[in-house]
Chains A and B, each alone.
Chain A
Amino acid sequence: MKYAVRTAKVIAAALGLAAIAAPALAQQGLDEPFQKPFKEALAGKTVAYVPVAMNFDLTEGWYAGMKKELEPLGVKFEIRDPNWNTNAGAQAVTSLISEKPAVMVIHNPDVQTYAKLLQRAENEGIYVIQINMGSAYRSSAFVGANWIEIGEKDTEAVVKACQGKSNKIAIVQGALSAAASAYTLKGVENVLAKHPEIKVVSSQAADWDAAKAKAITQTVLKQNPDLCGIVGFWDGMDIGTAAAVKEAGLTGKVFVATSGGGERKGACELVKSGAFDLNLSYDVPTQAAQMAGTIKWLLSSGAKAGSIKGSEYTTLIPITKENADSQTSCWNLSDLKK
């Protein structure tokens, strides 16, 4: 009994001592063993960015977002702007392979052109991250929108809006050579296969061009004034589609669904004005943050380029009248550049 009490006393004293000693230990600080190698893995590395072109909301947004995340870590961020020229893009990628940056961030103009080059780059030990528009070659990472899902969701919304109406819809595609356009069309077809009552009165390519989209839509609306919905493939082009609907006096009667990067002027404000009924946003700032995150992860992992492959499909933000006013639905390029 006496022994037990003594033991208890010793334990209590030990605990007390520990309680006094603990803060003293904490004041010493504890080294987190992984941050230093992380910093070393990133500092002085070069990340090369090859979009299809600069000067539009998506690529400017990605650039600003990645730069903001990576430059403070001492990463050199380089840009090669092919300005819509596929050949110039392929040349940029080729010359980059010999310059050996640590990471290449590639925005493909189509599925085939860069595919072989990207494979060569990864064989040379360069991590390749493909963004928003992928190629036939699967590289270390893909970060971007799931176009099939966009086609499906837009079409589902249009089909729903058409219930009890004429069931006539039109499709305004982008450029035929673009994977984004072809994949979106597949998504549209997936939904239409389930809805045989829907009649597609027009499915034409407007080459991402607002004026062409407007011309096509005007003609289609004159032929089918009872049209109940339009699936558009990009908001920058569908501003023309919406203008045609508005001129025909059918705003609100024809459901216009489209998709885009969610920049405020191009997305939220047009939904607010009634031009678009649904704009699926792939939220460029979040995409940019995911791209930067992937770059950090890859560089600090030390994994061999091409040995691991994964995808990060973007969670879409459906912008409708309900959330178009919200501060978080859209983003401003000027804020991202700060």
Chain B
Amino acid sequence: MKRFRFNQQEIVFAVFAVLFLAFSIFLRGFLTPENMLTLLQNVAVLGILGLAMALVVIGRGIDISLIAALAVPPGLVLQMVQNGHSLPASLLTAVLLTIAFGLVNGWLIAYAEVPSLFATLATGLLLAGLGQAALFQLDVVQWSDGMQGFERLGQGTILGVPTSIVMFAIACVVVAFLLRQTRWGAYIYAIGDNPYAARVTGIPSRPIIVLQYVVAAQIGCFAGLVMAASVNSMPTRVFNSTLIYDVILVVVLGGIGLSGGRGGVLNVIIGTLLIGTMLNGMTIMDISYAGQNLVKGVVLLLAVITDSFLNPRNEETAQQGDI
């Protein structure tokens, strides 16, 4: 007898649907096209970061240094332009720095075989420290005249849709293509599912792992550029914030298991939508900060408890490396 089972993704989607419905009915001004766009716009950067994290988590890793990649290279762009360098040269430097950063991460994890959690924890600190000590004059790097026009990456609209949502959509398409349509994507799933079997079957697992971290860092840098453009500055102090937990939250809530090999872009979108709906609804209701944290915690717990109730873990479903 085959029993119908919900998986985490469906549960979160159900929670999202219930919340969305409740807000639409009870909250005046929630279900308007303008508010829907604002909702998405507010979580676009989080969503882009979620994609980067998903890529790594599917390959059975984790990238804690993502916020450093978000803060430092884009901050460097703003700082260099402020110091009189041209925008293209600054962007190129930032991209090169990001690639180098991703390579270091990847090398540590794939070749030196340092667990990804520790490797990226350390490299993130290193990059953020480098930025603070050597690259930036102040931790909020301000927009300058040389950046004129670049703010369109995060402000304004394209065909009526706020640009940051378009950027999130583009990132979704790119990552979905990478994961589903390319051989590399298939390799990432294979490595995430069973790294030893993947290696035995001849998949070049080490280079693929390096690639994962380079791409993730690059997406992080892209998210940072969108963020900087949208607030007209780069608050590099964001590295000290709890943003990375929100990113992990989006990924895990969306149903991408930390044990790797499962999930995709759709999961990130669902996780992002749930967070966005909660934040937007609570802001409209003008709930206090403490109250918001309480609600966030309760919803999260509900999702996690329901999942373990409906899908109990046993030797068969648990994987090595499961967190």
Give residues in A with beta carbon < 8 Å to B: 53, 55-57, 60, 83-84, 176, 201-205, 207, 209-211, 214-216, 218-220, 222-223, 236, 239-240, 242-243, 246-247, 263, 265-266, 269, 275, 333
A-B contact pairs, 21 of them (CB 8 A): A56-B140, A57-B138, A60-B138, A83-B132, A202-B286, A203-B286, A207-B241, A209-B238, A209-B241, A214-B231, A216-B283, A218-B41, A219-B39, A220-B283, A222-B29, A222-B32, A239-B231, A239-B232, A239-B233, A265-B144, A269-B142
Is there contact, CB below 8 Å, between A215 and B42? yes
Is there contact, CB below 8 Å, between A243 and B232? yes
Select the residue from A53, A57, A201, A265 with max chain B CB neighbours within 10 A.
A265
B98 at the interface (CB under 8 A from A): no
Number of A-B contacts (CB under 8 A): 93
CB-nearest residue of chain A relative to B37?
A222
Is there contact, CB below 8 Å, between B38 and A84? no
List of A residues within 8 angstroms of B279 by Cβ: 215
Is there contact, CB below 8 Å, between A219 and B284? yes
Taken residue by residue from 19 to 52, chain B's Cβ proximity to chain A (1 for < 8 Å, 0 otherwise) reads as: 0000000000100101100110110010000000
Bound complex: CA A204 to CA B280 (Å):
12
Q: Say whether, besides A202-B283, A209-B238, A56 and B138 are in contact (CB < 8 Å).
A: yes
Q: Say whether, besides A236-B140, A243-B155, A219 and B280 are in contact (CB < 8 Å).
A: yes
List of A residues within 8 angstroms of B227 by Cβ: 211
Q: How far is the CB of B244 from chain A (nearest CB, A)?
A: 14
List of A residues within 8 angstroms of B29 by Cβ: 222-223
List of A residues within 8 angstroms of B155 by Cβ: 243, 246-247
CB-nearest residue of chain A relative to B137?
A333
Q: Say whether, besides A84-B237, A247-B156, A265-B142, A55 and B136 are in contact (CB < 8 Å).
A: yes
Is there contact, CB below 8 Å, between B45 and A211? yes
Q: Say whether, besides A55-B132, A223-B35, A210 and B138 are in contact (CB < 8 Å).
A: no
Bound complex: CA A289 to CA B162 (Å):
46
Which 3 interchain pairs have the tightest Cβ spacing? A215-B42, A265-B142, A210-B231
Bound complex: CA A263 to CA B138 (Å):
11
B235 at the interface (CB under 8 A from A): yes
Q: How far is the CB of B131 from chain A (nearest CB, A)?
A: 9
Q: How far is the CB of B228 from chain A (nearest CB, A)?
A: 10
B309 at the interface (CB under 8 A from A): no
List of B residues within 8 angstroms of A236 by Cβ: 140, 235
Taken residue by residue from 212 to 249, chain B's Cβ proximity to chain A (1 for < 8 Å, 0 otherwise) reads as: 00000000000000010011110101101100000000
Bound complex: CA A207 to CA B235 (Å):
12
Q: How far is the CB of A216 from chain B (nearest CB, A)?
A: 6
List of A residues within 8 angstroms of B289 by Cβ: 176, 204-205
